[in-house]
Structure 1
Amino acid sequence: MKISRVLGGAGRRMLAAVAVLAVATGTLAACDKTAETDEKPPIRLGALLPLSGYFAPTGQPMADAYNMAVKEANEAGGVLGRPVEIVFGDDACDPAAAVAGANELVGKDITVSVGGGCSVAAVPSLKIFHAAGIPMIIPAANSTDLLAPGYNSVFLLAGTTKLEAKRSIEVMAELGTRRVAIVDDGTSFSDTLASETTTFVQQADSGTTFTGRQRVSQGATSYPRVVATVLQQRADLVFYTGYYAEAAKLVRDLHTAHYTGKILLADAGTDPALLKQITPAEGNNLYGLSLPVAQFMPQASAWAAKYRAAYGREPGPFTMQSYDAARLAINAIARAGTTDREAVRKAIADTKPGDVQLLSGPSEFRRDGTQVNPSFLLLRARNGAFALAD
């Protein structure tokens, strides 16, 4: 029996309409499929940062710098004909959070990891990214523990704690130090920097006497035992190698105990956020080592102005390095001509100054993944702000 005879004229007209709709729907689906095919998926970079907790004031400006680099890349047409996307993970400067965040970023199919604000969080992420074949350009973390596994996929933009230790010895001589006490907070960066500095100080020609090494407990409200030991040992300089949250408490405690010597902070402690937690008087004789910061680098003045215009504040510590990490990754992908991770890793390793101009330092790496000739500035607290030391 023919269906048309059962349905009658009205039924036949309904079937015709359904047929037209089916053809139209099929055409639309084909168009949608074509549009999906034409729209190329983004190339993803991943960044683990401290976006919560004590160190969020450092992590958020770094995130802004990544966004700035990616926006500029996309405005210039992206890379390999595809848009660039930055995916963030929050490590809170905590090892467990870093492991979870790294696994999450691997699941999002990133081509390069460009994060790493705290060594204590970056170190446990190494194995995860390495197992996935994802190269890492690390902007801020610089503990020599990052080099210990010997991975050829790890590239540091911030020198190493060994180089920072050598610079700290030079600074101690410049400041006329005779007796130094070294204080750390037990984290990877702080511990390795303290150990390496202690070794250099104890060398016969250092000119400075090592009075002892103390350790603060993260999260404690004050450090009376550490301060009492420093005073008893008659140190005329305290070198604190940890992060700024504990640095602020230690500076306040030393000031309250009438310590009159100098205090030198490692780059993890030399952050404007610290100065918001102490008074200008407590900041007297406070110095800090720092990676290159935009406001003190003439070659970064135009970039700093763009950052201020975009985000309404000065670019803080590690922002130039974050911006550079993203730009270097994008440049390496373009030079590799593919998102194949091994090809991109090789392109990063082979980077030469003519390939991409970085704001924060030379765009060239040694075989161990460290940057050639990184620099550390010496800053001093003045009137509630850090400035270049005289």
Structure 2
Amino acid sequence: MRAIPLKSFASLAALGLLVTGCGQGLLGGGDSGDQAAKQDGPIVLGMLIPQSGSEAAIGPYMSNAAQLAVDEINAKGGVLGRQLQLKTADDACDAQSAAAGANKLVTEGVNVSVGGYCSGATLPTLPIFAKANIPMIIPAANSQELVDQKLKNVFLINGTGSQQATTAEKWITKQGAKSVALMHDNTSYSKDIAVRTQALLDPPGGADAVITEAVTPKESDYSANITNVLDKKPDFVYWTGYFQEGGLIARQLRQAGYKGSIMVGDGSVSPKLMEIAGAEAAEGVYATMTQTPDTLEGAEGWIEAYKKKYNAEPGPYSNQAYDAVRLAAEAITKAGGTDGAKVVSALEAIDGFSMFSGPLKFTPEHTLASGGFQILVVKGDKFILQDALK
């Protein structure tokens, strides 16, 4: 599913995409001391992102876009007469680091969490934010395991692993693949997509043979895994993990003589994949991915605003991070304040809020009604839109 066309950056404001402050205080008003300070001080948004480790390239895209949204909202008067403030913490795409980062943000008094990239790192933060009564708007992490925790404060604005697997199966079937190798790294996110894709391919009408191969992340040589896979003679390989390993696997598959199709999951959609794989091996690699700045119709004005502020192109998950901040501001406005339970209720009641992915309405599971996954393909140094599978 493509985003609803947005004719210009000016039209974003006209459609109400930029949240304006209401110029009113919080419900209940007037206590002195700490309570008054909380009501008059900034509304703090917390963002856990990878700022170190193998996925660190993604962090700046997300934090820059989130800060862009914060600055725009503050320039319009803030939210309920208060300014927004963004605080980030490094999760390093690692469960232990993420838990430490979440506790740090809780201690710093964040009102809403708007981060989460790696699902395996996001999972251990869920109970930490839930215990602190902090709503979570997760812009990128999308393992079904996040949904399966059934926590009332958790909302996903990226498509789920189940929705990504459905898109993958449709594309693989459309390509007429007869023998498919599904490669994952045993993390929550990656294995979830592989398992769900396998289940969809196994029934009649799917591939004749489905091979699964688990690799160890953060290695430099996957030749043994490549040999295991190629011994089964697949004509389609789908890597469901992150770009560091994805780039190596694509390069080593081609070096081993594999001529069939290669596809990667959304965690591998990054310029780094082409850099690691090399231009020749990366060319023609497909990807299952939600909207990226390059595939958003009518977002030229927003892209220019990002480039003007940061002197860089917006990358994967920048638009989702931008929307996470805007959605948090909308929910706080509707809730009349930052009380966690009221913000959660406001998020549940959202119906038609305009985002880059289209009008938002959450399912009872707090996921998008439609995942918005599309097929991209590497052409030169970019992932471009191949097929929206309408």
Q: Report the TM range for the smaller structure's normalisation.
A: 0.7 to 0.9
Shift of 1:37: 6.8
Partner residue, 2:43: 43
Amino acid paired to 2:124: P
1:279 equivalent to 2:247? Answer no
1:168-247 alignment runs, 5 A limit = 168-206=168-206, 208-247=207-246
- Assess if the C-alpha contact under 8 Å between 1:362 and 1:373 holds in 2: no
**Paired residue secondary structure (1:56):** coil
1:370 equivalent to 2:367? Answer yes
User: d(CA) in 2 for partners of 1:285 and 1:131?
Assistant: 46
1:115-154 alignment runs, 5 A limit = 115-154=115-154
Shift of 1:39: 9.8
User: d(CA) in 2 for partners of 1:173 and 1:160?
Assistant: 20
Shift of 1:229: 1.6
Map Cα deviations across residues 12-37 of structure 1 (whole Å, 9 max, x no partner).
xxxxxxxxxxxxxxxxxxxxx9xx97
Shift of 1:311: 1.4
Q: In the comparison of the two structures, how many residue pairs are matched?
A: 353
1:1-390 alignment runs, 5 A limit = 40-206=40-206, 208-353=207-352, 356-389=353-386
Choose 107-116 or 301-310, whichever is displaced more.
Answer: 301-310
- Assess if the C-alpha contact under 8 Å between 1:139 and 1:157 holds in 2: yes
Choose 169-178 or 123-132, whichever is displaced more.
Answer: 169-178
Rg larger in structure: 1
User: d(CA) in 1 for partners of 2:37 and 2:201?
Assistant: 62
Shift of 1:233: 0.5
The percent identity for this pair of structures is 36
Higher relative contact order (CA 8 A, sep 6+): 2
User: d(CA) in 2 for partners of 1:60 and 1:158?
Assistant: 18
Shift of 1:159: 1.4
In structure 1, list runs of 5 or more residues that go unmatched: 1-32
Shift of 1:363: 1.5
Shift of 1:140: 0.4
User: d(CA) in 1 for partners of 2:378 and 2:328?
Assistant: 34
Q: 1:133 to 1:87 in 2, by over 3 A?
A: same
Partner residue, 1:18: none
Q: CA RMSD in A?
A: 1.6
Shift of 1:384: 2.5
Shift of 1:127: 0.6
- Assess if the C-alpha contact under 8 Å between 1:362 and 1:374 holds in 2: no
Shift of 1:38: 12
Q: 1:101 to 1:209 in 2, by over 3 A?
A: same
Structure 2 length normalisation: TM-score? 0.88
Shift of 1:195: 0.7
- Assess if the C-alpha contact under 8 Å between 2:137 and 2:155 holds in 1: yes
**Paired residue secondary structure (1:87):** strand
Amino acid paired to 1:195: V
**Paired residue secondary structure (2:375):** strand
Shift of 1:210: 3.0
**Paired residue secondary structure (1:298):** coil
- Assess if the C-alpha contact under 8 Å between 1:291 and 1:317 holds in 2: no
**Paired residue secondary structure (2:88):** strand
User: d(CA) in 1 for partners of 2:197 and 2:39?
Assistant: 53
Shift of 1:63: 0.4
Map Cα deviations across residues 27-82 of structure 1 (whole Å, 9 max, x no partner).
xxxxxx9xx97993111011100011111111111100010010011101111111
Amino acid paired to 2:44: R
